[in-house]
A and B are shown apart, each in its own frame.
Chain A
Amino acid sequence: MRYGFLDEDAKKEIRRATLKAIAIPGYQVSFASRELPIARGWGTGGLQVTLAIINEEDCLKVIDQGCDGSVNAVNIRNFIVSVTDNQTTLDTVCADIIQSRHRIPEEPMREGQTLVLQVPYPEVLTNVEADSYKQKVMHANSDYAKLWVLLYEDTAQFGDSRIGHRYPVMVHDRYAMDPSPIPKYDTKKLNNNKALILLGAGREKKIYAIPPYTKVEPLKFEDREFKVESFANKKCARCGASGVFMDEVHTNEGEVKFYCNDTAYCDKQLEKGAR
């Protein structure tokens, strides 16, 4: 088996697109992709990016909705290890490459690390413009009037945007971008992050990026506060952490409990508490 599964030309094509994506933050670079013999639900976009950039020295972490132990995360991690023999970790701090779906890790990332986000729908304009050529023209002109109209209508009707996950952001004051289905809670972590963030969409064959120290802002009206999911006064029922993104769990006894969504973070807090 060749290292990283993909043949060298396939990697070169993804690397070419990745470098252009880094150079033009938030802009979707198209790339030619070969079909991977892997089911769609696995998020082939993120996987292809990871396989194209990984080398022997990289320690890998894979999470799915905050969890290293979910079936999806385990399968992807096992697959990458089977074709690279690389080291893996659950610890955000120790990882060189973190492949993730729907979350940015709770612990801050650092320079030199790469976060690869799997993207189901790369086009932020899909809901306001169906035609892909017109979408491209709107990006070319930085014309996001239709997004603003949608935002305005939501605000007028509901008092706030109805968008929960996948909240649109402006990157480097130029491109509107779909940040993948991360919660609004994670949106602020995109701004000025120290790590390189690469976003890969397999079906649409797009790669886009946020370099470290890049301005990323949620698309919102100036007089409106950007409200994120709040877990005020909530404590993790397992580790006792507060102020982090939590999952709400309803027990059979009718009780509501909260747990850290980032399981590796939760484990670490538990370990700290035990010591």
Chain B
Amino acid sequence: MNNMDLEQLNRQNFKSLSDALAMPGKITKIKSVFDSHLLAVANLLFFNEVTYYYSGDEDITLIEAITNPKITTIQEADYILSDVIDTRLILEAKKGDYLNPDFSATLIFKCEDFNSYSHLLSGPGIDGKKEVNLPCNKKFIDVLMKKNSDYPLGVEIFFINSIGELIALSRTTKVEVR
């Protein structure tokens, strides 16, 4: 695969990420890089000005070599990637400060599918209320809602399932467990 192809995939995958975040609860599709959807997202987001933390088993070394981000701690990372959904990562992620709420983390969780729990979403990007299936239980939602309770401070979350579907929760998204 040559460099041009990777940039083309980045263009298409950016649209998926941007649509997912602009319309929380909307499912978009990620095209894989090196047979991995997670690595495709890493390739899209990583460059020499950002930091990341990864907890998982995928071989991220090639993407790292191509894109040149800095590896750091959970507390410092701009991007936190994980093979499993882990509330500890949310608890420890940076959420920005009032002057710079954008100095905050984005978390990317892999999951099998989205079918586990039904939730009701509202907030910017959502037309009224929207019922959505998410792979996270009440405890997860409680932790996330607490993390994002100090708006504009907070974190964004993306879930990627095994077939490359993407769904996002923005820091403005209110989630009610059904």
On A, residues with C-beta under 8 Å from B are 2-4, 8-9, 11-13, 15-25, 27, 29, 32, 53-57, 111-112, 136-137, 140-141, 172, 174-175, 194, 196, 209, 211-215
Query: Inside 8 A of B14's CB, which chain A residues have their CB?
Result: 15, 53, 55
Give the dominant DSSP class at B's interface: loop
Nearest B residue to A21 via CB reads B102
Nearest A residue to B3 via CB reads A8
CB pair B8 A23 closer than 8 Å: no
Partner of A23, one of B12, B21, B97: B21
Give the 5 A-B residue pairs with the shortest CB-CB distance, closest first. Answer: A55-B11, A140-B98, A20-B102, A214-B124, A12-B47
CB pair A213 B102 closer than 8 Å: no
- B18 is an interface residue with CB less than 8 A from chain A: yes
**Min CB distance, B30 to chain A, in Å?**
14
A112-B106 in contact given A211-B125, A212-B125 (Cβ < 8 Å)? no
Query: Inside 8 A of A32's CB, which chain B residues have their CB?
Result: 49
Partner of A211, one of B15, B46, B101, B124: B124
CB pair A172 B124 closer than 8 Å: yes
A24-B171 in contact given A56-B8, A174-B152, A212-B22 (Cβ < 8 Å)? yes
Rounded to whole angstroms, the CA-CA distance of A194 and B127 in the bound complex is 9
Query: Inside 8 A of A57's CB, which chain B residues have their CB?
Result: 12
On B, residues with C-beta under 8 Å from A are 4, 7-8, 10-12, 14-15, 17-19, 21-23, 44-50, 97-99, 101-102, 104, 106, 124-128, 151-152, 154, 156, 170-172
Rounded to whole angstroms, the CA-CA distance of A32 and B44 in the bound complex is 18
**Min CB distance, B24 to chain A, in Å?**
9
CB pair A19 B21 closer than 8 Å: yes
**Min CB distance, A164 to chain B, in Å?**
28
Rounded to whole angstroms, the CA-CA distance of A112 and B106 in the bound complex is 22
CB pair B102 A22 closer than 8 Å: no
Rounded to whole angstroms, the CA-CA distance of A242 and B152 in the bound complex is 41
CB pair B11 A19 closer than 8 Å: no
Q: A24-B152, A27-B101, A196-B22 are in contact. List 8 more A-B contacts (CB 8 A).
A: A23-B154, A23-B171, A24-B101, A24-B172, A55-B15, A194-B127, A211-B124, A212-B23
CB pair B106 A19 closer than 8 Å: yes
Query: Inside 8 A of B156's CB, which chain A residues have their CB?
Result: 19, 23
Partner of A3, one of B7, B152, B154: B7
Residue of A3, A19, A21, A27 contacting most chain B CB atoms (<10 Å): A19
CB pair B125 A213 closer than 8 Å: yes
CB pair A137 B99 closer than 8 Å: yes
Rounded to whole angstroms, the CA-CA distance of A55 and B45 in the bound complex is 16
Query: Inside 8 A of A141's CB, which chain B residues have their CB?
Result: 98
Rounded to whole angstroms, the CA-CA distance of A213 and B48 in the bound complex is 34
Give 23 pairs: A residue, B residue, CB < 8 Å, sorted on A.
A9-B47, A9-B48, A11-B10, A12-B10, A12-B45, A13-B49, A15-B45, A20-B104, A23-B21, A27-B152, A53-B14, A55-B11, A55-B15, A112-B19, A140-B98, A141-B98, A172-B124, A211-B21, A211-B22, A212-B124, A213-B128, A214-B124, A214-B125
Residue of B8, B46, B47 contacting most chain A CB atoms (<10 Å): B47
